[in-house]
Amino acid sequence: MPGEEGMETGVDGGVNTASLARWMDARGIAPGEPLETSLITGGASNEIHEIRRGGRRMVLRRPPRRIPPGRNETMLREFRVLSALNGTDVPHPEAIAACDDTDVIGCCFYLMDHVDGWSPLNDGGWPEPFRSDLSLRPGLAHQLVEGIARLASVDWRARGLEGFGRPDGFHDRQVDRWSSHLEKFRFREIPGLDAAAAWLRGHRPSRWEPGIMHGDYQFANVMFRHGAPARLAALVDFEMATIGDPLLDLAWVLMNWPDADEDRSVTGYVDYGGMPDRADLAARYAEVSGRDVGELDYYLILARFKMAVVLEGGYARHVNGQADNPAMAHFGDVVLRTAAAAADLAAATRL
């Protein structure tokens, strides 16, 4: 791979700082100043490095060392979205520059501003005062849905994202796309999935407006400012972003969100105690985005259908002994519950 040797002789955190400094000099990014790097996170998905130069803190995002097919291109797609969001009211890391020359550090990468904040995924749940004061938690949920409501309101054509996705026929493709993906690794029956697919084919939204979709929107992919009240600092990780139907992002948040009268003891990586109900969050999204959420059940069924397929892919890799994440061993039951929830809602909804 071009540039791989440079990665091996990198000075700091595996990044060839001399080569990176020359690239930054050519773009006027604190030229001539000493450059330091340190690894923030790394793994099978992507690597994130902090870059310090000339009193400025930045973040470099790059693929993992073993670069999967298409991941270099994904870096450039992510940067395109971030650049489009510069100057909007969507909280995000400001885009600085991207590199499509794999000779610089061995891969495509981009630079963005450092965000001073915290993530519930990286901080082991809610930090204080949100851990102790449940009355502050509704603000976290409201800020979460306001983030995608603002994202959905961006004029994506005016921001240069024409051609970034294929909004025409978006809903016509969804069931076929994910069903075809499932057939690549399907090894068992998944009760409820076919019923959900049949319902989705016959109940596409009556009308919808294309917009920017994050694609994997959840608490794990946002950052909050330190202290109370809750303030969203940034939407992050736009790896799955496209132009599609933004209401699917809302459904992605809400599909497993427990109401106050439901079991909140099994919560994944966050504690939902004190959180608002799904209807409250849907109403907040509608208020901020101006979008109609009257057909939300369709999106919840689609989100659960898609999630079941995605997780089944991970579980299939575990069953075949090819899993790169131990958590995939637990996906099997989650898939069955998610597919059943999709079918149950399809049978119960009044749409």
The model's confidence at residue 43, banded by pLDDT at 50, 70 and 90, is low
Antiparallel, parallel or unpaired: β 242-244 and 211-213: antiparallel
Look at residue 123 in the predicted model and tell me its pLDDT.
65
Query: What's the rounded Cα separation, in Å, for the pair 253 and 219?
Result: 8
The per-residue pLDDT of the chain, averaged, comes to 92
Q: Specify whether the CB–CB gap between 114 and 59 falls below 8 A.
A: yes
What pLDDT, on a 0 to 100 scale, did the predictor assign at position 34?
95
Q: Residue 98 pairs with which residues in a beta bridge?
A: 110
What tens digit of pLDDT does each residue of 285-331 get?
Answer: 999 999 999 999 999 999 999 999 999 999 999 999 987 778 889 99
CB 208 within 8 A of CB 171: yes
Buried b (16+ CB within 10 A) or exposed e, 273-288: ebbbbbebbbebbbeb
Contacts of 11 (CB under 8 A, 6+ apart): 17, 18
Q: What is the pTM of this model?
A: 0.93
**Looking up tokens 């069903």, which residue turns up?**
179
Is residue 3 over pLDDT 80?
no
The sign of the dihedral angle between the CA atoms of 132, 327, 218, 306 is negative
DSSP single-letter state for residue 260: T
What pLDDT was estimated at residue 66? 86
Q: How far are the Cα atoms of 65, 242, 243, 308 from residue 154, in angstroms, in the given order?
A: 34, 13, 11, 30
Of 85-94, 98-107, 202-211, 264-273, the range with the lowest mean pLDDT is 264-273
Candidate from 57-61, 143-147, 303-307, 323-327 with smallest mean pLDDT: 323-327
- Give phi and psi for 54, each to the nearest 5: 60, 35
Segment 260-283 mean pLDDT: 88
What pLDDT does 48 receive?
Answer: 94
In the structure encoding, which two tokens stand for residue 71, read together?
A: 């991941």
Please tell me the chain's helix, strand, coil percentages from 3-state DSSP, rounded to the nearest 5. 40, 15, 45
Q: Are 160 and 154 in contact (CB under 8 A)?
A: no
Alpha helices in the chain (DSSP H): 4-8, 17-26, 71-85, 137-153, 170-183, 193-202, 247-254, 278-289, 296-319, 331-348
